[in-house]
Amino acid sequence: MDTVIVLFTRDLRVRDHPALTAACARGGHVVPLFVLDPKVPAGRRAGFLTDCLADLRASLRARAGDLLVRRGDTVAETMRLAAEVGASEVYASADVSALARGRERRLAGERIGLRLFPGLTIVPPRELLPSGGGDHYRVFTPYWRAWAAHPRRPVLPAPSRVPLPPGLEHGLEHGLEHGLEHGLEPGDLPGHAPHPALRGGEPAARARLELWRREGLDGYADGHDDLAGDRTSRLSPYLRFGCLSPLEAACVAPVEHPFVRQLCWRDFFHQVTLAFPAICRRDYRPRPRRWRDDAEAVSAWKAGMTGIPIVDAGMRQLLAEGWMHNRARMIVADYLVNHLGVDWRVGAAHFFDLLLDGDVADNGGNWQWIAGTGNSPRPGRVLNPLRQARRFDPVSGYIHRYVPELSGLVPAEAREPWRIGGVRGYPAPLTALE
Ligand code: FAD
């Protein structure tokens, strides 16, 4: 019987997985594979990834399948496995980053068939192109209009059986534990503790989605910018690893709902990245700008010790949780780039290292937006962190939560402690603000 390898990357689920469904529908054997590739360091995401892989393996085993985990170069390992099992084709989810596209090109050049499927975004980037020409949408609003009107494929159920070839059911050469032992150590980013427990995997993602649908969705439109209210879905790490299909997430609300619009931002930056794969490295829209090289300021920013409480609260949330509220991300990014004058790439790299949802397209796209080098129709806009704090953290609940040195202060003092002569143990502001 014919054998197909399903190469999992950041689509770690069995439900609504077009490549897996198509492989199972062929009627031959299916070998699910994940490769721990040193070119894709997991950093602080290692623990979350371990959960995702363990759950995926359990789901596949429950369907008479299994997950082979290997370590090394993805293409070399895929081809090695193909030779071992006599596979004729590789099925995978089409991706957008430079690294992923390079992998796809290399696989396409091997002596094996490669079929790429949708699944990483709601609308596949190649399916939606501007009517006036061009290889991608540069501005969000027209993209949003076209995206909202675009027909979506149906959500796919998980396959009931994933038929492994005989002889592979037992004695997998490299187990998950082996791969993790030799490839990814939780906390392998020097100087930082691993993330506190946020369980990865498809069951956890589905539980989070269900809870969010029941308890969070209604308050989202009015509350998503409220820093202390913390009313966003927190689905981003699950979407990052594909434990949850973005298409399925979008089905919880009508297309015009602000939550679905946020999911559209994710698709938007993915189609930008497909057209401009250097999104994390090079200015999308170059602007003449001289960046400051200020190692001390960067260290203070990273440590949440800039002396600007709303900025420090955000940076400390990132350190503690591996996640940061979107409004806080905007404030801290804007502060680094537009107030400290530091190159956006410095901030993007730090975010990418620490965020559980750290993702090339979303991270690069958002940092460039803030820096005025990306897709913003109003580049050059600068946020005032004090005004942002007054508006989005009016009773300083967010500051009090993450900056304990200021917890005894009334809201206005906690936002601007220098006005009361400062607080012992908390730094003076790096920059003067009005
Ligand atoms: P919700 O508000 O519940 O939104 C639902 C989903 O929509 C999110 O999970 C996410 O997938 C998507 N989404 C929401 N806002 C955006 C946005 N601005 N751009 C793209 N997608 C969005 N998001 C990442 O997933 N990975 C990153 O590496 C990342 N880096 C960022 C860097 C900066 C400087 C900024 C300003 C934003 C960044 N974002 C990133 C976008 C956004 O902050 C997070 O997606 C969001 O905070 C995740 O929380 P949530 O799941 O509760 O979001």
Q: What is the ipTM of this complex?
A: 0.99
**Averaged pLDDT for residues 98-121:** 97
The rounded mean pLDDT for the chain is: 93
Query: Quick one: tokens of 19?
Result: 């490549």
Q: How far is the CA of 184 from the centre of ligand 1 (A)?
A: 25
Q: How far is the CA of 17 from the centre of ligand 1 (A)?
A: 22
Position 227: which residue type?
A: L
Instruction: State if residue 366 touches ligand 1 by the CB under 6 angstroms criterion.
Output: yes
Instruction: State if residue 376 touches ligand 1 by the CB under 6 angstroms criterion.
Output: no
For the segment 277-296, what is each residue's pLDDT rounded down to a tens digit?
999 999 999 988 889 999 99
48-85 b/e with 16+ CB inside 10 Å = b?
Answer: bbbbbbbbbbebbeebebbbbbbbbbbbebbbebbeeb
Residues 113, 267, 58: CA angle, nearest 5 degrees: 60
Residue 270 has pLDDT above 90, yes or no: yes
Residue 170 has pLDDT above 90, yes or no: no
Instruction: State if residue 338 touches ligand 1 by the CB under 6 angstroms criterion.
Output: no
Q: In angstroms, rounded to a whole number, what is the distance separating the alpha carbons of residues 327 and 305?
A: 19
For the segment 172-216, what is each residue's pLDDT rounded down to a tens digit?
444 455 444 434 443 333 334 445 568 999 999 999 999 999 999
Which ranges in 62-159 belong to alpha helices (H)? 74-85, 98-108, 140-149
Confidence (pTM): 0.95
For the segment 330-342, what is each residue's pLDDT rounded down to a tens digit?
999 999 999 999 9
Residue with CA at minimum distance from ligand 1 atom 47: 326
Instruction: State if residue 336 touches ligand 1 by the CB under 6 angstroms criterion.
Output: no
For 272-336, what is the HEC assignment? HHHHCCCCCCCCCCCCCCCCCCCHHHHHHHHHCCCCCHHHHHHHHHHHHHCCCCHHHHHHHHHHH
Q: How far is the CA of 239 from the centre of ligand 1 (A)?
A: 10
Ligand 1 atom nearest residue 358's Cα:
28
